[in-house]
Structure 1
Amino acid sequence: MTTNRHHRSRYQRYTGGPDPLAPPVDLREALAAIGDDVMGGTSPDRALREFLRRGGSTTRGLDRLAEMANRRRRELLKSRNLDGTFEEIRKLLDDAVLAERKQLARDLDDDARLAEMQIGSLPASTAQAVRELQDYQWRSQEAREKYQQISDLLGREALDQRFAGMKQALEGASDEDRQQISEMLADLNELLDAHNRGEDTTEAFEQFMDKHGEFFPENPQNTEELIDDLARRSAAAQQFFNSLSPEQQAELAALSQQAFGSPALMNQLSQMDSALREARPDLNWDGSQEFSGDQSMGMGEGAAALRDIGELEELAEQLSQAYAGAQMEDLDLDALARQLGDEAAADARTLAELDRALREQGFFQRDPDGRLGLSPKAMRQLGESILKDIAAQLSSRSGERRADTAGRLGELTGATREWAYGDTEPWDVTRTLSNAVLRTVSSAPNGADALAAMASGGVRIEMGDVEVTDTEARPQSAVVLLVDTSFSMVMEGRWTPMKRTALALNHLISTRFRSDELHLIEFGRYARDTSVGELTGLEPRMEQGTNLHHALMLAQRHLRRFPNAQPVVLVVTDGEPTAHLEPDGQPFFFYPPHPQTIGLTVRELDHISRMGAQITFFKLGDDPGLARFIDQIARRIGGRVVSPDLDGLGAAVVGDYLRSR
């Protein structure tokens, strides 16, 4: 008989640091958002910080996480109050007095009457009443036990403030348990004093943990880690005391002397607190909080709530990244998981990985002046992303070609020809198969037999059957993109779409049409030759004037360098020419457009037209003066006018460039 044995495997969350099996973070969304901000005039460093603040489509940003931390802090303050320990002590005292009164009522001796008088004249103050009953000879066993619970509760609460779980662990503690606590505190104070004197405590720490490690479930690895944890708890205990009203503080100070029936415990804790404060003076020992809720807390719970509140405040500051030298590595992911959950910690980890990857993988670089900018690698990825968006727009239009395939070969002529050695054109499959079938049938003596043979064994293609599509080679193009950078482009929200268009066209030409030569010119009060990197990082200018005249002069200089190339001129503008270049090199601006400005601009357009250039104007906005000017110019030189909306500007320019080829 075969016995089936089942092997069970247990799986749990990986806790050894970053998940080694996690996929790398996707930088495309971050890079696209940062690129848009940079093109809008934001510095790359600030654009990165803004993305981290906003977060991505599937990752909450720093602002959202900070909001969660602040809301959690407010909830703790509103839902809790600090009366829990006082209420519990008062209830125990009332229960003890009631039980003692019942017992005294049954006793008929004179001492019972005296005891009734003592019980009846107890002060209203809980602390004073507890102190007066310290030497009282209880007749009721129940009353004696209730009163003993008060001192035990105070001791357990005091320890629970500084050592997690002590309140529950020491419930019903024996004298031996209390002695063990006292020995631990004495050894701990010796260790802390040695550390504060600057002594090497490595060996002393190991001996201490071997003896008392059960009290420290956090398992600190050295004295510094032990002090860090204890100091935070001790500071929270002090904040708890600071948060009490003056009456409550006096009450607690008096009650604490009754902890475990002896002031020795509080003296040891006070010595420990002093040593921890000396070791970590930077903690908020003098802070306090205002609680206003209905949920009462004991001393230990109050200190724990204050630790949570303090940790949430630290997290909010870390998440703000507003302090000097702030880095994403500052985020305490363990604290985030404790306070806001594992998902919040995962979001923060993803943001930190994005920040690190963007900086380490070469997406940013500094120019000779030390300013941070997008690197060529970032520009390529950003251009590829924008071009994909534009390609999707083009492919959705009837009759348009996909930008990722158009232009790889020459234009189809519609004809085919027999394949020759060295041809790289694609086969015309229909003509090739037709040739093979006709050849097979014509070469067989019996046509029916040939058809039967093909049906059973297929068609055999020979080299003479192959025909390829005929294409017409396209010439090299010299492309000039002139973009308007006057202030109206900024005011009307056309700044970023203009830059995205330039970036997409540059990426298309540099990756798909490498034989073409693209040159970028930006023109405002005067024109400037620029690169795609410079244009991407160009900040908005408070510059009036549309100097198309100067831009056209620079365009001609580029076109003359490639006399055998097909000249293509693309002009993106939202205003009619209002400036021109004087003979002395100074720009002249006048609005409404001066006749001399119009005349000089038309002259340069005529020059470019005589060079055989294909000129297309992309008219943005509804300026009637611009519409009249470019409509007349288009008729004069045979150019084209396109009036795209902002979302379609990139597709219009890229599509026109492909059409011109």
Structure 2
Amino acid sequence: MPAHHRSSRYGRYTGGPDPLAPPVDLSEALAAVSEDVMTGYSPEQALREFLRRGGRGRDGLDDLSRRVQQRRRDLLKRHSLGGTLDEAKKLLDKALRLEREQFLRDARMDPMDRSFREMQLEGLPSSTAAAVSELASYDWQSPSAREAYEQIKDLLGREMLDQRFAGMKQALENATDADREAVAEMLRDLNDLLAKHGRGEDTDEDFQDFMAKHGDFFPENPQSVEELVDAMAQRAAAAQRLMNSMTAEQRQELMQLSAQAFGSPELMAQLGQLDANLQALRPGEDWSGSERFQGQDGLGLGDGTGVLQDIAELDGLADQLSQHYGGAGLDDLDLDALARQLGDDAAVSARTLAELERAMQDSGYLQRGTDGELRLSPRAMRRLGKSLLRDTAQQLAARSGHRDTRLAGAAGEPSGATREWQFGDVESWDTTRTITNAIRRTAAEGGDARRGLRLDVRDIEVAETEARTQAAVALLVDTSFSMAAEGRWVPMKRTALALHHLVSTRFRGDELQLIEFGRYARALPVDELTALPPVREQGTNLHHALLLATRFFRKHPSMQPVLLVVTDGEPTAHLMPDGESWFSWPPEPETLRATVEELDRLGRMGAQTTFFRLGDDPGLERFLRRMAQRIDGRVVSPDLDDLGSAVLNEYLNARSGDSDDEPWA
């Protein structure tokens, strides 16, 4: 058939991860991790929480764990363990019924013999196992009844083998004596191989010879003795747990019935030896566990063992999904087992989560410090700051009714002149002069500008600007426990991060210091402030924070000092001469006096000061109003959602010399 006429068939891709699937989206993960970090989680905990919750339209570890537990409960609620006994009883009842029918049909039968046989059948024990055992020497008159009775032995043999070798029950249906002898020979050779392996005397050649002879019994296709033992021990342990899960009466019945398996005591001896070998080689398997089945769907020994294997696999998945063990990672997840138990969609969700975990570290958003702990990287902080600044700018623009162009961060006012670009310049290009320079250079070099123009760094001219005043900005943020208790912790951090990103990317000539104050105060880099957990510690030491701000401003004497203070409580602590923090509630006059004196010092330095009052504490409102009046400052009372735009607006006003008299709600 010509190649261009060949038809194609399409179906689901089953070769692993979809090669055409889009890459994982890290923006949602980074936003969620960052939010949790700001509430007090470590980055590692925050990443774990995101993986547990999952993302938009995607199951997380908790969802998968719930599905695993639900499937486990369903298996136990649906099934019971009496399947083999029930099937054996049905075959026994059938044999007895057919034998009695034969009595009625056989008119030539001696009446005394018939009466004796009827009494013999009527006197059988109620126990199926005991009745089967008692009938072992019975001379059946009905060939059909004898066949039904022999089926009990065949059933038990196939079930006992199916417990150790999945699928054997179906494979040996209608088996011949030659088939049974092949099984017996395989068991003998297998026990010999395992015994040699236990003594350390086996070779790879022994294993290869065994598989060449009996490989059809092992569809798992193990590649070594160890793989063979692993597979068999797991199923043998599940078979033992199945027996442990039965009632004492059920176990006794099956033990008695098992003696009739295939009518071959050797089979049971070989199976017993196999269990002993496997238990000696794999003592760590769960040989003593049990489950409580509550359903009505009776399971045979082989199927029941398979269900116990499923339950063990589900328990293993539950441990993997919990991630509670040392060194846990999503690469540990058995995706094949997850697909078997919950379906392909669960495996896809787990694979995506594992890719997210790996990508968050490979992308550089999370990195390990020298102490081995995960941290948000500078790249992650920049991306988070950019996102927060964008959100804050939108709030600011919405408040003023137009786009606030002050966020552009121009280096100064245009002077009308231009000059060649030099490395490090951030001024805007003069486009007209730049293109003109490129045309002239191209013509001078013998080129034809009409056929295309390629810019060279020598062509670029920038618009000169007059120098603008640079600002030294101190953002003082209250980190007393009330900030976390009242839900102000994350908005405070968002504000600090947005301001930091604005200064570091748009106003690089300014200097910013972030100072947190609780019982004590300290200057923190933005990443440490972002990850700072709330501490249940009393004290609002504004005095110490103002001391640090004063020291910061003195390091930058040529810059305009801008002081921004975010707080939700009156000063309740001040720094003593010996460096200790003195705390008292209500605030003592000494604390207020020390705080006011330091603020006056900042006022004399010319600091443009704005207080951001959070909450409705009337004492705080009176205190901040008086403080602002002393140094010609301002008090702003924003809603929490508006805190970031309020702080950015005050910073921009301060550095541009504008005033904004609109009250903040």
Task: Provide the TM-score with structure 1 as the length reference.
Answer: 0.85
* Count of matched residue pairs: 619
Aligned-residue sequence identity (percent) comes to: 59
Q: Tell me, what secondary structure is at the counterpart of 1:406?
A: helix
Given that residues 579 and 589 in structure 1 are in contact (C-alpha distance below 8 angstroms), is that contact kept between their aligned partners in structure 2? yes
After the TM superposition, which residues 61-72 of structure 1 pair with which residues of structure 2 at under 5 Å, given as runs?
A: 61-72=60-71
| In 2, Cα distance between equivalents of 1:19 and 1:217 | 28
Correspondence for 1:366: 369
Correspondence for 2:211: 209
Correspondence for 1:517: 511
Given that residues 412 and 469 in structure 1 are in contact (C-alpha distance below 8 angstroms), is that contact kept between their aligned partners in structure 2? no
Amino acid paired to 1:615: T
Q: Does 1:649 align with 2:643?
A: yes
RMSD of Structure 2 on Structure 1 (CA): 3.1
Correspondence for 1:544: 538
Correspondence for 1:289: 291
| In 2, Cα distance between equivalents of 1:37 and 1:142 | 74
| In 2, Cα distance between equivalents of 1:54 and 1:587 | 42
Correspondence for 1:476: 470
Correspondence for 2:73: 74
Question: Which residue of the other structure, out of 227, 243, 246, is the alignment partner of 1:241?
Answer: 243
Correspondence for 1:451: none
Q: Could you list the per-position Cα deviations for residues 316-336 of structure 1 after superposition, in whole angstroms to 9, with x for gaps in the alignment?
A: 222222344544333222222
Q: Tell me, what secondary structure is at the counterpart of 1:631?
A: helix
Q: Could you list the per-position Cα deviations for residues 257-280 of structure 1 after superposition, in whole angstroms to 9, with x for gaps in the alignment?
A: 221222222222211111111111
Q: Tell me, what secondary structure is at the counterpart of 1:67?
A: helix
Q: Does 1:496 align with 2:498?
A: no
Correspondence for 2:58: 59
Task: Classify 1:249/1:586 alpha carbon distance in 2 versus 1 (closer, same or farther; 3 Å).
Answer: closer
Task: Classify 1:381/1:224 alpha carbon distance in 2 versus 1 (closer, same or farther; 3 Å).
Answer: farther
Correspondence for 1:5: 5
Q: Could you list the per-position Cα deviations for residues 23-65 of structure 1 after superposition, in whole angstroms to 9, with x for gaps in the alignment?
A: 4433333333333333333333333333333333343333332
Correspondence for 2:301: 299
Correspondence for 2:94: 95
Q: Offset at 1:574?
A: 0.7
Q: Offset at 1:547?
A: 2.3
Q: Offset at 1:426?
A: 7.1
| In 2, Cα distance between equivalents of 1:2 and 1:407 | 65
Mean CA deviation greater in 66-75 or 300-309: 66-75
| In 2, Cα distance between equivalents of 1:426 and 1:360 | 36
Task: Classify 1:83/1:180 alpha carbon distance in 2 versus 1 (closer, same or farther; 3 Å).
Answer: same
Q: Could you list the per-position Cα deviations for residues 159-217 of structure 1 after superposition, in whole angstroms to 9, with x for gaps in the alignment?
A: 22222222222222222222222222222222212221123442222222233222222
Correspondence for 1:559: 553
Q: Could you list the per-position Cα deviations for residues 554-612 of structure 1 after superposition, in whole angstroms to 9, with x for gaps in the alignment?
A: 21221222223232221111112233334444433333333443344334333333433
* 5+ long unaligned stretches in structure 1: 430-467
Question: Which residue of the other structure, out of 335, 338, 346, is the alignment partner of 1:336?
Answer: 338
After the TM superposition, which residues 38-437 of structure 1 pair with which residues of structure 2 at under 5 Å, given as runs?
A: 38-108=37-107, 109-110=109-110, 111-359=113-361, 362=364, 363-366=366-369, 373-399=375-401, 401=403, 406-410=407-411, 425=428
Q: Could you list the per-position Cα deviations for residues 130-151 of structure 1 after superposition, in whole angstroms to 9, with x for gaps in the alignment?
A: 1222233333232222222211
Q: Offset at 1:243?
A: 1.4
Question: Which residue of the other structure, out of 500, 504, 526, is the alignment partner of 1:532?
Answer: 526
* 5+ long unaligned stretches in structure 2: 422-426, 433-461, 656-665
Q: Could you list the per-position Cα deviations for residues 377-408 of structure 1 after superposition, in whole angstroms to 9, with x for gaps in the alignment?
A: 443343334334334434444445469x8234
Task: Classify 1:655/1:220 alpha carbon distance in 2 versus 1 (closer, same or farther; 3 Å).
Answer: farther
Given that residues 400 and 655 in structure 1 are in contact (C-alpha distance below 8 angstroms), is that contact kept between their aligned partners in structure 2? no
Q: Offset at 1:153?
A: 1.1
Question: Which residue of the other structure, out of 598, 605, 620, is the alignment partner of 1:604?
Answer: 598
Task: Classify 1:572/1:191 alpha carbon distance in 2 versus 1 (closer, same or farther; 3 Å).
Answer: same
Task: Classify 1:582/1:119 alpha carbon distance in 2 versus 1 (closer, same or farther; 3 Å).
Answer: closer
Mean CA deviation greater in 158-167 or 575-584: 575-584
Correspondence for 2:588: 594
| In 2, Cα distance between equivalents of 1:3 and 1:51 | 51
Amino acid paired to 1:95: K
Mean CA deviation greater in 98-107 or 420-429: 420-429
Task: Provide the TM-score with structure 2 as the length reference.
Answer: 0.85
Q: Offset at 1:367?
A: 5.0
Given that residues 484 and 572 in structure 1 are in contact (C-alpha distance below 8 angstroms), is that contact kept between their aligned partners in structure 2? yes
